Chains A and B, each alone.
Chain A
Amino acid sequence: MTAIVRQGFHFLPKARDIPGSFAIWAAILAEMTEFAVMFIVYFAAKVHNPELFYDGPTRLSTSAGTANTLIMLTSSFFVVRAVMAMRENQLKKCSQWLWGAVFCGVLYLVIKYFEYQWNTAQGLNTETNIFYGVYYYVTFNHFLHVGWGSVAIVWVIYRVNTGIYTKDDHEGLINIALYWHMIDLAWITIFPLLYVIR
């Protein structure tokens, strides 16, 4: 235990504890299941339409997909650092890391908006074929998650700044952090499926 404390791990959840609340885990597992259903639809559509799913990713912007993956991973990292700052009672730093995550969320949305515009200019839309139907359904669903996730982080920043959360009591922050990581997990799965694998 002493060694663990010395290495700075003392603030991690105890064994068998649930990080955050039961409610947020119910939401996370429900969302992960929803995305899993979309991935199963993707796999089923892929085996029935191999040519469309082989060509599909080549007409999408790999750069936009890669940039958004890097942005999502970085936003998740910022959220982790925000939680760590809160545990060290560094409220200002916590707030700054969270603003970093919000900035990443907004940047993601902007890139996605221009990616959709670029697709439209190329004549790609939900009706083009089943690959783009799946692509729009999954990515727009994720887009909405990033949108309301970013708003939730802004709400948490307000609560950090007004002193509602303390070093010892900040479950709301942990809950939003976990939810944001779930959004990240969904994206790191979407990226290879739709942009890379053929």
Chain B
Amino acid sequence: MTHIKIINYLWLLLIALTLFSAYMAEQSESGLNSIVIMALVLAIKGRIIVDHFMELKRSHKFLRTLMHVYFYVIPALILVVYLFPTHIAKWTTL
């Protein structure tokens, strides 16, 4: 597959993932399943943009890792905040 084709398909995948998460948001009440899906979709979209649009997949390893970590941490925080809101509230009370 050529580079152009890969980029075209990845764009379509990003669009499909966005429409899927919007559909999920409209269809279901907030629950663990939908939160997990939202977090996963965010992680996948971030990874695609970092690796293929920013072209970090084949270049600087440290920058790539740094950008990947961002899209591990934010989805993880989404889950942690959903699962343990009272604990986090305690830790963040001044």
| Least Cβ–Cβ distance between B30 and chain A, in angstroms | 4
Interchain CB contact under 8 A, A18 and B63: yes
Question: When the two chains form the complex, which single residue of B7, B41, B58 contacts A15, counting CB atoms closer than 8 Å?
Answer: B58
**For chain B, which range describes its interface: under 10, 10 to 19, 20 to 34, or 35 or more residues?**
35 or more
Bound-complex Cα distance A65 to B22 (A): 9
* Given A7-B3, A192-B21, A16-B45 contact (CB < 8 Å): no
Residues of A within 8 A of B49 (CB): 76, 181, 184-185, 188
- Taking CB atoms and an 8 Å cut-off, the chain A residues in 68-121 that contact chain B are 69-70, 73-74, 76-77, 79-81, 84
Bound-complex Cα distance A46 to B1 (A): 44
| Least Cβ–Cβ distance between A155 and chain B, in angstroms | 20
- Taking CB atoms and an 8 Å cut-off, the chain B residues in 33-90 that contact chain A are 35, 38, 41-42, 45-46, 49-50, 52-56, 58-61, 63, 66-67, 70, 74, 77-78, 81-82, 85-86, 88-89
| Least Cβ–Cβ distance between B64 and chain A, in angstroms | 10
Contact with B along A159-181 (1 / 0, CB 8 A): 00000000000000000001001
- Taking CB atoms and an 8 Å cut-off, the chain A residues in 31-74 that contact chain B are 32, 36, 39, 43-44, 46-48, 50, 54, 62, 65-66, 69-70, 73-74
Interchain CB contact under 8 A, B59 and A47: no
A-B pairs with the 7 shortest C-beta distances? A13-B59, A77-B11, A198-B30, A47-B89, A196-B25, A66-B22, A8-B3
Identify the A interface with B (CB < 8 A).
Answer: 7-9, 12-19, 25, 29, 32, 36, 39, 43-44, 46-48, 50, 54, 62, 65-66, 69-70, 73-74, 76-77, 79-81, 84, 178, 181, 184-185, 188-189, 191-193, 195-198
